Amino acid sequence: MATRDQDVTQGSGAEAGVLVREGTYGTQVMTVEPGGAEFIPLNERHGRPLQLFWTWTSPNMEFATIFVGVLAVAGFGMGFWSAALAMILGSAIGGITQGILSLRGPKYGVPQMVLSRLGFGYWGNALPAGLNSVTAGIGWFAVNSVSGALALSVLTHWHKVLCLLIIVVVQLFVAFFGYNLVHLFERYAFPILTVIFLIAAGVIFSKTQTGASHHTIPGAFLLAFGASFGYAVGWNPYAADYTRYFKPDTNRAAIAWWSGLGLFLSCALLEIVGAAVGTAVSPGNALAGPGGMTSLLATPLADLTLLAIALGAVSANVLNIYSGALSFTAIGIKLPLSLRRAIVALGFGTIGFFLAWSALPNAGARYENFLLIIAYWIAPWLAVYFCDMLLRPNPDEALLFDTKHANWAGPVAMLAGMGISIWLFSNQTEYIGVVPSHVGSVGDLTFEVGFVITAAVYLAWHAIAGTGREKTAAR
């Protein structure tokens, strides 16, 4: 079991008071990664920044990414070029923040949601860590499992539930073993997915009706921008999870570049492909699932694309279930099991399977809402995280594991930002806020307003209290 013992801490290269991951793992692939959200000992560190490119490219080579673009054109009635611009901007912001967030992993050797304790305090961090464990390990897991199952069903003509079960079992197998197998899986999926999707994209772009007539709904650009941002930024709470095994002296510029570029290129390209699909087929066929996209392709390429969609869903979900389990262990709940992360991953996967099963009949509308909701909470979380980086640029490692570390400005600011912005600006099928209900052209400004309000409350709290710059654990 992980320990605070001084001898173990000294041997690991960590500061006194840092919770160190137990066991030996190293570069082994078919060994189950021990522990949970603890510090990774220096003698276990390995990897290089380039692997972040395929780690953040492969999981976006799937239909869930394409469907963002489909929604913009077939759902929101946008033209091709305006939809492409909205999605490039949303993906770019998500890629930039992904690169920045990835930087602290090698230095602190802990997952992203443990680093989040700096801005929220040890126990206040249960708010974002809990939200991420649910949205990643259950929500995103269900979304991507549905897209993979639908693609496999169209390809094989098997029952959708059987296809869903196959997809889930493969995902859980990879995520259960942990970090090394996850990276290896993404590496070998990368060339297969890239080649197939680039060929399919070329064919689809040749059939794009860029000048097709369209009837844009009020506020469509901001809705599409919000959905694209929500998709890309949904990976942000995982960023350091996949850099924490790197050595502390790993090139920082390379880390930021490869993680941000992989996320941006894959999201922007596939979402623009989705926009092209929306112009080339009827809205009903486009929104129906992978079949609308593959109807534009010759049978051999269509079958390969469906296979790639299923593989891409697995690539996405091994990250979702792995990081969702890490986020749960980062809440602070004591799980004395040596395989606590792996056991939590199995639990989340089981719940996600049944949620995906229930979502099979009406996945499209639920997906739009889900993307926007992701942005609703992640933008305020980012505001707290970045403001804390501004106030506390170089905190000690021990602060991350100090149960007495309190920073209630974080959860209070985040809740204020979420509550006010959702109440005023939310624009989705389940709830329309005060402003868009009267002025539909404003679209959905929830995440933008939520970020600003949260940052203002957080900075004002610490400015008034004269706090927020503490760098050491309480003694």
- Per-residue tokens: 210: 């860029």
Mean pLDDT confidence for 397-404: 90
Mean pLDDT confidence for 125-130: 94
Residue holding tokens 């996945």?
363
Q: Among 112, 116, 103, which residue's Cα sits nearest to residue 248?
A: 103
pLDDT of residue 32: 85
pLDDT of residue 6: 37
- Per-residue tokens: 58: 């492969």
Pick the more confident residue, 48 or 135. 48
Q: Among 1, 106, 20, 50, which residue's Cα sits nearest to residue 337?
A: 1
* Most confidently predicted of 149-153, 185-189, 288-292: 185-189
Task: Give the separation between CA 201 and CA 287, rounded to whole angstroms.
Answer: 18
Under the banding of pLDDT at 50, 70 and 90, the label for residue 141 is confident
Pick the more confident residue, 186 or 430. 186
Task: Give the separation between CA 446 and CA 348, rounded to whole angstroms.
Answer: 28
Pick the more confident residue, 240 or 13. 240
Task: Give the separation between CA 82 and CA 59, rounded to whole angstroms.
Answer: 25
Q: Tell me the per-residue pLDDT of 448-465, one tens digit each, with 9 for 90 and over.
A: 999 999 999 999 999 999
Q: Tell me the per-residue pLDDT of 260-286, one tens digit each, with 9 for 90 and over.
A: 999 999 999 999 999 999 999 888 888
Mean pLDDT confidence for 253-264: 97
Q: How many CA atoms lie within 13 A of 70 on its CB side?
A: 25
What share of the chain has pLDDT > 90, as a percent? 52
What share of the chain has pLDDT > 70, as a percent? 90
Considering only 2-16, 168-182, 253-267, 299-313, which range has the smallest mean pLDDT? 2-16
Q: How many CA atoms lie within 13 A of 120 on its CB side?
A: 29
Task: Give the separation between CA 11 and CA 213, rounded to whole angstroms.
Answer: 66
Can you give the length of the chain in residues? 475
Burial 95-110 (b: 16+ CB within 10 A, else e): bebbbbbbbbbbbbbb
Task: Give the separation between CA 88 and CA 84, rounded to whole angstroms.
Answer: 6
Q: Tell me the per-residue pLDDT of 329-367, one tens digit each, with 9 for 90 and over.
A: 888 777 665 556 777 777 776 776 766 666 655 555 566
Under the banding of pLDDT at 50, 70 and 90, the label for residue 187 is very high
Q: What is the DSSP string of 369-401?
A: HHHHHHHHHHHHHHHHHHHHHHH-SS--GGGGG
